[in-house]
Amino acid sequence: MAGLFKDKITTRNLRGDFFGGITAGVVALPLALAMGVASGLGPIAGLYGAIFVGFFAALFGGTESQVSGPTGPMTVVVAGLAASLAAATGDGNNLTLIFAAIVIAGILQILMGVLRLGEYIRLVPYPVISGFMSGIGGIIIIIQLAPLLGQSSPPAVTDALLFAPTAFRQANFLAFAIGVMSFLIAMYWPKKLARYVPGPLAALIIGTLLSTFTGGVPILGEIPSGLPSLNIPYFDVSTISLIGKAALVLALLGAIDSLLTSLVADNMTRTRHDSNQELIGQGIGNTIAGLFGGTAGAGATMRTVVNIRTGGITRLSGMIHALFLLAIVLGLGPLASYIPMTVLAGILVKVGVDIIDWGYLKVCFRGPRWDFALMVLVLGLTIFVDLISAVAVGVVLASLAYVEKAAKEQVAHLKSHDSLLPMSDEETALRKTLGNSLNLLEFRGPLSFGALADLSHHARSLFTNDELKTVLLDLSQINELDLSAMRALETISVDAHSYGRQVHLCGVNEKIREALKSLKADTHLKDINFHESRLKALKVISSS
pTM across the whole model: 0.72
* Residue 182 near residue 203 (C-beta atoms within 8 A): yes
Encode burial over 376-386: b for 16+ CB neighbours within 10 A, e otherwise: bbbbebbbeeb
CA distances from 455 to 40, 73, 451 (A): 55, 44, 6
In terms of Cα–Cα distance, which of 517, 511, 534, 447 is closest to 485? 447
- Nearest Cα residue to 308 out of 529, 97, 65: 65
pLDDT tens-digit readout, 138-178: 988 998 899 999 888 776 788 888 898 998 999 899 999 99
Q: Which helix (H) or strand (E) holds 74?
A: helix 72-89
* pLDDT reported for residue 309: 79
Least confident of 75-84, 188-197, 327-336, 452-461: 452-461
pLDDT tens column, 65-77: 999 999 988 998 8
Do 83 and 242 form a contact (C-beta atoms < 8 A)?
A: no
- Strand-pair partners of 69: 298
E strand map for 8-124: 68-69
Contacts of 150 (CB under 8 A, 6+ apart): 171, 172, 174, 175, 176, 179, 217, 218, 341, 342
Alpha-carbon span 72 to 245, nearest angstrom: 19
pLDDT class of 92 with cuts at 50, 70, 90: low
Cβ–Cβ contacts within 10 Å for residue 21, how many? 26
Measured between alpha carbons, how far is 274 from 259 in angstroms, rounded to an integer? 9
More confident call, 41 vs 544: 41
Per-residue pLDDT, 329: 86
| Spatial separation of the C-alpha atoms in residues 108 and 93, rounded to whole Å | 25
